[in-house]
C-alpha cells in the first residue's frame, strides 16, 4: 500500500502512487479508513457490494470515497479491505464496482471525524508506469 500524508493547513491531504488505476482507488479508500481509524485493524466480518459512477476519474474518485463516508454514517460500516475492484468506461463516464469487507463502525474508536471529501487539489493522473492520485479530506 503506497500512500502518504502531505502537509495541509487545516485538512488532510493524501497522495497515492500505485501501478494501476484500480489499485490506486483501493489504496485511496484504505488511506481514508486510516485517517478515520488510525492504526486500527478492522475485522473482516461484513461483505458489501458497492457501485458508483462519475463523469470523469476525479468525479468517480469523489463518489467512491464519499460512499465510505455514507457507509460509516448511515450503515455503521468501517472498511477493512477491498476485493475485485473494477473500473469501466461507459458512455456517460466511468463506473466502479467492488466488494468491500469490514465491520460495524460502532465497535471501534475513531481518531478523526472526516466530514467530507473535497475536490480541492484533487487529481487522478495516469502515467506510463504508475497512477498518482491526490485528494483532500475535510476533517
Kindly report, residue by residue over 2-24, the tens digit of the pLDDT: 787 776 666 889 999 999 999 99
| Rounded CA Rg of the chain | 14
pLDDT in tens, 51-81: 999 999 999 999 999 999 999 999 999 999 9
Residue pair 59/96 in contact by the 8 Å Cβ criterion? no
pLDDT beyond 80 at 97: yes
| pTM for this model (two decimals) | 0.91
* C-alpha cell read off for 136: 483532500
Task: Write the CATH number for 51.
Answer: 3.55.10.10
Query: Which one has a higher pLDDT value, 67 or 139?
Result: 67
Average pLDDT over residues 78-87: 97
How many domains does the chain contain in total? 1
Residue-range definition of the domain harbouring residue 24:
3-138
Residue pair 135/61 in contact by the 8 Å Cβ criterion? yes
Amino acid at each position: 500500500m503506497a500512500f502518504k500524508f502531505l502537509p495541509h493547513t487545516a485538512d488532510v491531504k493524501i497522495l497515492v502512487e500505485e501501478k494501476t488505476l484500480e489499485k490506486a482507488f483501493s489504496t485511496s479508500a484504505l488511506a481514508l479508513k486510516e485517517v478515520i481509524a488510525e492504526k486500527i485493524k478492522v475485522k473482516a466480518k461484513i461483505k458489501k457490494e458497492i457501485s458508483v459512477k462519475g463523469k470523469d476519474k476525479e468525479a468517480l474518485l469523489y463518489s467512491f470515497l464519499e460512499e465510505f463516508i455514507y457507509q460509516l454514517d448511515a450503515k455503521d460500516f468501517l472498511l477493512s479491505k477491498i476485493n475485485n475492484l473494477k473500473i469501466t468506461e461507459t458512455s456517460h463516464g466511468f463506473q466502479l464496482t467492488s466488494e468491500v469487507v469490514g465491520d460495524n463502525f460502532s465497535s471501534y474508536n475513531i481518531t478523526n471525524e472526516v466530514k467530507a471529501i473535497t475536490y480541492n487539489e484533487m487529481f487522478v493522473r495516469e502515467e506510463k508506469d504508475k497512477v498518482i492520485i491526490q485528494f483532500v479530506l475535510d476533517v
